[in-house]
Chains A and B, each alone.
Chain A
Amino acid sequence: MTDSPLRTTLPNGALLSRLRAWYSADTPNPAKRVQFDRPLTPWLFLLPQLAVVVIFFYWPSVQAVTSSFYIEDPFGFGSTFVGTENYTDALTSSQYASTAMFTAFFCVMVTGLSLGIGLLLAVKADKVIRGAATYKTLLISVYAIAPPVAGLIGMMFFDMHIGPLTDLAAFFGHDLRVGINYWDTAFALITISVWKQIPYNFIFFLSGLQSVPVSVREAALIDAQSGWRRFCDVTLPLLAPTAFFLLVINITYAMFDTFPIIDVVVKDKPANNPITLVYKVYLDGFKGNDIGGSSAQSVILMVVVAALTVLQFRFLERRVHYG
């Protein structure tokens, strides 16, 4: 592994081209053909996975799309077809717009900070020689904490009556009021969510760093004296596949998996505190029993996430080099 493998760029994105190769019939792969003598056998193996996807994704999605065009009695007795009213109601509501804005801000902050800090810690941990195992274990252990528990621990620190972080802020002259002040709550949400996600990024970055071949590092050492330049020119490009994967995962995390943390921090009464779009779907659907409105919001969310994923693969993955 000297220079050529690093230059292998896949023009339309690695995944897409792989998919194409898998699809295209004009590039037969006889070695793979002979594995199944009957055409149905591979489908049989795929069935469990397909069943899961259909039952837990496609079927509910279709239901969500259908109910998003109705305003429905929660018990299912009556419903009024309202066309796209649920969508226009959501999209024109100033409340929905501010929730969407916060969600975007929250995603950028959580993804950026947890990737940044995770990478920094991984780079530093990679260099530790003595006590490396202890150090790594300590950093990774937070990952074992379930999100609601992370939320609870966080809220003990941020509690407006007894929280040590509230006292610390008071020491610096800031009256930290998580649960009352919008930005104070946002700060708590981001801090807890980032804290929870750092270990995950750390693990991946660390293993990514450790797979950078020694020969490459040594070659780089001859070329450049500055550690920062070696990091930018050699290590970072080699980490790109890991980073890209983590970016996708972290955005999903910030958008969806932070739900329990938000629920704990706002004590299931959001009032004027910041929430994300997925929390609003839950709030309107499960607490408010507004099935139509909530479905429309979840369809919007689905479209946004799909678009975001396509964008990521289209524009970002081009720059990623798979070794």
Chain B
Amino acid sequence: MMKTAATTIALTLTASSVMAQTNISWWHGMGGRNGEVINEISQMFNEAQSECVLTPVSRGTYEEALSSGIAAFRSGEQPNILQVFDAGAATIIAAKGATIPAEDLITGAGEEFNRDAFIAGVRNFYADSDGKFVGMPFNSSAPIMYYNTEAFEKAGVAPPKTWEEFEAIAPALKEAGYTPMTASQLTWMMVENFKSRNNQQFATNNNGYDAIEGTEIIVTDENQVMMFEKLKDWADKGLFGFYGAGWADNLKPFEEGQSAMWIGSSGSFGGLQKSTGFEFSAVPMPYWDAIEGAGTQSFIGGAALFAMSGKSEEENTCTAQFFTFLTSPETQVFYHKATGYVPITEAAYELAKSQGYYDEQPVAEVGIQQLMLKGGEWSKGYRMGFYPQIRTVMEREFNRIFSGEVSVKDGFQIIEDEGNQLLARFAKTSG
């Protein structure tokens, strides 16, 4: 806090003493090392040009950043740039007039913008149904499967590509004394990205992109239910460890060498290097071979930056310049290396590759490779309002499913019913 305040004051002082510079603000929801990297990037931008001064401000977690952004907007105190996470995308994109689409902002400021420069998995998630970028993808991640190398050597098996392979090797890992797998945030891993990796429809109205009115969630289909029946069965047999909705509770067994595999974020890579005392590697998140057309790319996770409306033209120009700066290959590679989030443009990926980064750190390439896999009809993204609340419903039912209070089928029926009620409520918000 003190540091940020000091930097802000320092920046303001230099700003006023040099000349009429334009100040812009950036509210984000990142902490720890990732928060420091945001300060470094802002400083790089401020040093790279002289017209604009960017001040980043941490607003807590993703959810807190979104709600403080909303509160600020309602009182006319919004920042120029607001970071919004994947699940909150529908909320901010539906509020037309709250933001200026990133693409309009950039072209309006006379900068170039090329959609095809972005890797395929990133292009649609924060875009409208015509493919126009509303949010500027920023920290992007994919769910990948980390594995403990020694555990696999001990069991004499290879890491699985598909869930069928997982079923075949998991008993050997259990035999070797490990919990074969744990996974954090099942909503993201086993529902949202179950849909994307297996090319399954997630919501009506083209996964929710075409309209808010009448969008319904689809989670009671045979395949989704099958995925959780398998998970429950694996949990009962000791092949899968479920430790509730908390991210860290499910990660800990992996860090302590008790579980052989952990499904987490590609952005967890940096942290894992510090917290694990053993050798680990990663493979893409498994899919079902038995499902036709499966093996598609995953949804992009993480967050995007939104340019808030109601700002002067000079400030918007600065925001546009910053967006362009962010997508430059050099900035992207810096961010990729510093945090473990994936580079979002093809050029940045090529640059990191040519620097030999992936020869040193093969794990860092898994996430981006997964996002560059072939796309399917349903792997572009989803757009559902009140989605954070739908996730809360899912988390509740997952706890009940794994404790045996409700069957998988009934649990998902509840998720679908309550999810649809929330979607219907959301449709009324824009009325």
Contacts and interface: CB of A to CB of B under 8 A. Distances in A.
Interface of A: 71-80, 82, 89, 95, 160-161, 177, 179-181, 267-273, 283-284, 286-290, 293
Contacts of A76: 73-74
Contacts of B66: 289
A67 to B, nearest CB: 11
A77 B95 CA distance: 7
B246 A269 contact: yes
6 contacts: A75-B97, A77-B95, A179-B246, A180-B244, A271-B399, A289-B70
A180 B430 CA distance: 36
A285 to B, nearest CB: 8
Contact of B398 (A77, A78, A271, A290): A271
Interface size class of B (residues with CB under 8 A): 35 or more
Interface of B: 61, 63-64, 66-67, 70, 73-74, 88, 91-92, 94-98, 242-249, 252-253, 256, 386, 388-389, 392, 395-400, 402-403, 405, 418, 422, 425, 428-431
B70 A71 contact: no
Contact of A289 (B67, B392, B395): B67
A170 B405 CA distance: 22
B245 to A, nearest CB: 4
Nearest to B96: A77
A180 B399 contact: yes
B10 to A, nearest CB: 31
Contacts of A271: 244-245, 392, 395-396, 398-399
B429 A283 contact: no
Given A73-B95, A77-B95, A271-B398, A293 B246 contact: no
Contacts of A267: 245-249
B98 A77 contact: yes
A298 to B, nearest CB: 15
Contacts of B399: 180, 271-273
Contacts of A287: 63, 67, 388-389, 392
Given A78-B431, A161-B252, A272-B400, A290 B97 contact: no
B430 A161 contact: no
Nearest to A180: B244
A74 B91 contact: yes
A161 to B, nearest CB: 5
A82 B431 CA distance: 11
B293 to A, nearest CB: 32
A180 B429 contact: no
Contacts of A290: 386, 389, 422, 425
A225 B51 CA distance: 87
Given A77-B95, A267-B248, A288-B388, 13 more contacts: A75-B97, A78-B429, A79-B429, A82-B428, A161-B243, A268-B63, A269-B244, A270-B245, A270-B395, A271-B245, A273-B399, A286-B63, A287-B388
B424 to A, nearest CB: 10
B392 A270 contact: yes
Contacts of B388: 287-289
Nearest to B64: A286
Contacts of B400: 272
A314 B146 CA distance: 62
B392 A73 contact: no
Contacts of B402: 180
B98 A288 contact: no
B265 to A, nearest CB: 15
A77 B403 contact: no
Given A75-B98, A77-B96, A287-B67, A269 B245 contact: yes
A277 to B, nearest CB: 15
